[in-house]
Structure 1
Amino acid sequence: MQRKNAPKKIHIIGSVGSGKTTLAKELSLLLNIPYYELDNVVWKRHKTGDIRRTEEERDKYLTSIINSDSWIIEGVHNEDWVSPSFHHAQLIIFLDTKNSTRIYRIIKRFMFQILRIEKSNYTPTIKIFFKMFKWNRYFEQVGKPDFFTKYGKYSDKFAVIHHKKSLKNYFTLEP
Structure 2
Amino acid sequence: MSTKFPQKIHIIGSVGSGKTTLAKELSEKLNNPYYELDNVVWIRQNSGDIRRADRQKVNYLQNIILTKAWIIEGVHNEEWVAQSFSNADLIIFLNTNYYIRSYRIIKRFTLQKLGLEKSNYKPSFSIFIKMFKWNRHFEEIGKPNFYHKYGMYRDKLIVVSSKREIL
Same fold (TM over 0.5): yes
Where do 5+ consecutive residues of structure 2 fail to align? none
Cα deviation, residue 67, structure 1: 0.2
* 1:154 counterpart SS class: helix
The equivalent residue for 1:41 is 40
**Matched positions, count:** 167
The equivalent residue for 2:65 is 66
The equivalent residue for 1:51 is 50
The equivalent residue for 1:162 is 161
Coordinate RMSD, CA, aligned: 0.9
The equivalent residue for 2:110 is 111
Q: AA paired with 1:32?
A: N
Q: AA paired with 2:128?
A: F
TM-score normalised by structure 2 residue count: 0.98
* 1:118 counterpart SS class: coil
Ranges of 4+ aligned residues in structure 1 off by more than 6 Å: none
The equivalent residue for 1:151 is 150
The equivalent residue for 1:128 is 127
The equivalent residue for 1:94 is 93
Cα deviation, residue 165, structure 1: 2.3
User: d(CA) in 2 for partners of 1:33 and 1:9?
Assistant: 9
Cα deviation, residue 100, structure 1: 1.1
TM-score normalised by structure 1 residue count: 0.94
* CA offsets 1:26-51 (integer angstroms, 9 cap, x no match): 00000000000000000000000000
Cα deviation, residue 3, structure 1: 3.7
